[in-house]
Structure 1
Amino acid sequence: MNALNNVKLSMLDLVAVREGRSVADSLAVALRTAQHVETLGFARYWVAEHHNMAGIASSATAVLVGHIAGGTHTIRVGSGGIMLPNHAPLVVAEAFGTLAELYPDRIDLGLGRAPGTDGITMRALRRDRVETEDDFPREVAELQQLLGPLQPGQRVVAMPGTGTNVPIWILGSSTFSARLAAERGLPYAFASHFAPRQLLQAIEIYRNQFRPSAALDKPYLIIGVPLIAAPTDEEAEYLASSNYQRVFGILTGNRRRLQPPIENFMAGLRPEERAAIGDFLAAAVTGGPERVRDGLRRLAQLTKADEFMLVSDIYDPDLRLRALDIAAAAIAA
């Protein structure tokens, strides 16, 4: 049996701002990409909250979710994720409750507990209080209540929001998030597109400790997969240099807009720098159609994931659409 037969495909978009292009262009590219993967049968399209980063235009996440949902018809659209410590749960419930009323049965609310930014920007987000490990689980529970059925005597009501039952996903890159998702009986998305180190350990914890809930009767797992696909392995490796440059910038604290591909980028780095990029992208699938199919199949066999959420940092938007076509064909083969 083909290990890919039952794997769904989805897309996570950081809404990269490309070198030499505008923020408006990056927002238009995001909508166009969502429309394209909808025709390919992708299950969902998520955007991620980041702040004060020159190359990422998805900071106003709920606004962007509404824009993409309004420009598509059937694909689920959501946050991958909202960084909950940056927001009051009531505000998040009202925003996503409004989206759920506008686009019924199409909105997902993925929640993370990282700040999605640096310390100075955290303070600009009015996050002066010190977070504890107990805050995130408590705020997740508060959101579940605000989006769930109205309870007798409930004094704080999300309007819109109450009764919409927007699906809540726990996102993370550690075993903490796996335990929380299992304990609450919620679907889980692991951020293996940038932090694959604890992937298998987190999956084991999530599945072994999962408790059925009103939201979910059995575990449901998404893993993030960096994807660079092209007609040949050689072209894919060349296009991947944009991603390598992006990762190198993250590792060295020199974040920039998404750069055009360049020849032999990795060859110009020191061995330890190449190794660090390799660790960051350990779950990546890069290559022509055959290599992509084999890479996705290996990930499916290794993780038994229900869904792959592709992250494709290709500079040319048309070539990114082509890469997504190749991935969709690999799953269908």
Structure 2
Amino acid sequence: MPRLSILDLAFVPDVLTPGDALRNTLDLAQHAERWGYHRFWLAEHHNMVGIASAATAVVIGYVAGGTRTIRVGSGGIMLPNHAPLVIAEQFGTLESLYPGRIDLGLGRAPGTDPLTIRALRRNVTAADSFPQDVLELQHYFEEPGPAQAVRAIPGAGLRVPLWILGSSLFGSQLAGVTGLPYAFASHFAPTHLMNALHIYRKEFQPSPQLDRPYCAAGVNVIVADTDAEARRLFTSPQQQFTRLIRGTPGKLLPPIDDINTFWAPHEEQQASAMLKYAFVGSPETVRRGLEAFVRDTGVDELIVAAAIYDHSARLRSYELLAELWKDVSAASPAVVSAT
């Protein structure tokens, strides 16, 4: 069965500060390491009051420094916002400090709005050069040639494993032809998941990093002792997605008894479509849903997001998920190894 990993966006509940959220992120990572999760990813978003991971490389260092064995990385770094050399230096530094534990997932979207793109001093057309920027970044992690004038220090020769992230079909083809592992953001953009996985596997060419296709999919998972309790916790991400549709994002809101008092019918339709791959319920309910998802997709890894308002409830959800997945994995063939 697939590996189980975490994507944590360092959500900021409405009564907490970004500092509180980041400390909760580290606490979650430390628990996840004990529970057997394979990797712990953070993502770059800017100008969002409800997400505390804007300085993604800094947060990765904080989490890696507070853990010992779990892989830590980006899901992802939005490469159009940065010069490839700078990212190579940042992640070369992380790899030097925490060898063998750092992942570098790369996205093409800016992770923010057009006005903030200008504040980042990036051109709105920067995404057009994403394939070339990926190759340049990859080059900085290779052994430098004797005539190479520009090197990433630290970074050169460290071969930090790269991932291509995507929410459309573009990244799947790029990941395939470059022979890199691929992660699809089906936790918020499920529409093209199946086509993207098909294209990736069809286009895949072996590379020094990877000899066969390896794909992960993002899913929302909330587990509680009962279906009713889990559905109530789920109203926090439902409110969050509704506010995104309204253009009024904010901090994570507490769960409510009846989500239908919050959203209009058209908002319910849109938010529910975005949350198509949300598995919510008791351990048995979630197990059935995830097993069906794995059968349908054939993914090698599940990257789990859980926008749960209360930190103790979030820990409990991930603990229950780890327990049920150990039972599933014990009864199934081992996962194909990759980064």
**TMscore range, shorter length:** over 0.9
1:10 and 2:23 aligned: no
1:254-265 to 2 correspondences below 5 Å: 254-265=248-259
1:327 positional shift: 1.2
The 8 Å contact of residues 10 and 310 in structure 1, kept in 2 or not, is answered as yes
Question: Is the alpha carbon distance of 1:268 and 1:89 closer, same or farther for their aligned partners in structure 2, counting shifts above 3 Å?
Answer: closer
Q: Distance in 2 between matches of 1:259 and 1:129?
A: 32
Residue 70 of structure 1: aligned partner: 65
Q: 1:134-213, aligned counterparts within 5 Å?
A: 135-213=129-207
SS in 2 for 1:11: strand
C-alpha distance in 1, partners of 2:216/2:73? Answer: 14
- Counterpart for residue 123 of structure 2: 128
Structure 2 CA distance for aligned equivalents of residues 311 and 107 of structure 1 = 19
Aligned length: 327
- Percent of aligned pairs with the same amino acid: 51
Q: Secondary structure at the match of 2:126?
A: coil
Describe the shift of the 1:200–1:142 C-alpha distance in structure 2 as closer, same or farther (beyond 3 A).
Answer: same
Q: Which residue, out of 200, 217, 238, partners 2:232? A: 238
**Aligned counterparts, 1:263-278, within 5 A:** 263-278=257-272
Deviations, residues 97-133 of structure 1 (Å, cap 9, x unaligned):
0000000000000000100000110000001362353
Given residue 178 of structure 2, which amino acid in structure 1 is its aligned partner? Answer: R
Output aligned runs, 1:44-55, within 5 Å. 44-55=39-50
Question: Do residues 249 (structure 1) and 243 (structure 2) align?
Answer: yes
2:85 equivalent in structure 1: 90
Shift of 1:268: 4.5
Partner secondary structure for residue 41 of structure 2: strand
Partner of 2:314: 320
Match of 2:96 among 101, 126, 131: 101
Which whole-Å deviations, capped at 9, do the CAs of 1:215-234 have from their partners, x for residues lacking one? 10000111001111110000
Structure 1: 4+ residue segments shifted above 6 A: none
Q: Which residue of 1 aligns with 2:55?
A: 60
CA displacement, residues 219-252 of structure 1 (integer Å, 9 cap, x when unaligned): 0111001111110000001010111011111111
Structure 2: which 5+ residue stretches go unaligned? 328-339
Letter in 1 for 2:174: L
Aligned AA (1:224): G
Match of 2:335 in 1: none
- 1:22-33 matched pairs, under 5 angstroms: 22-33=17-28
Provide the rounded CA distance (Å) in 2 between the counterparts of 1:157 and 1:329: 45
TM-score (norm: length of structure 2): 0.95
- Corresponding residue for 1:34? 29
Q: Distance in 2 between matches of 1:37 and 1:286?
A: 19
1:18-67, Cα deviation, whole Å (9 max, x unpaired): 11111111010000000001011111000000000010000000000000
Which AA in structure 1 matches 2:25? A
State the match for 2:294 in structure 1.
300
Partner residue, 1:215: 209
Amino acid at match of 2:223: A
Q: 1:7 to 1:128 in 2, by over 3 A?
A: closer
Counterpart code for 1:167: P
Is this contact kept in 2: 1:231–1:288, CA < 8 A?
Answer: yes
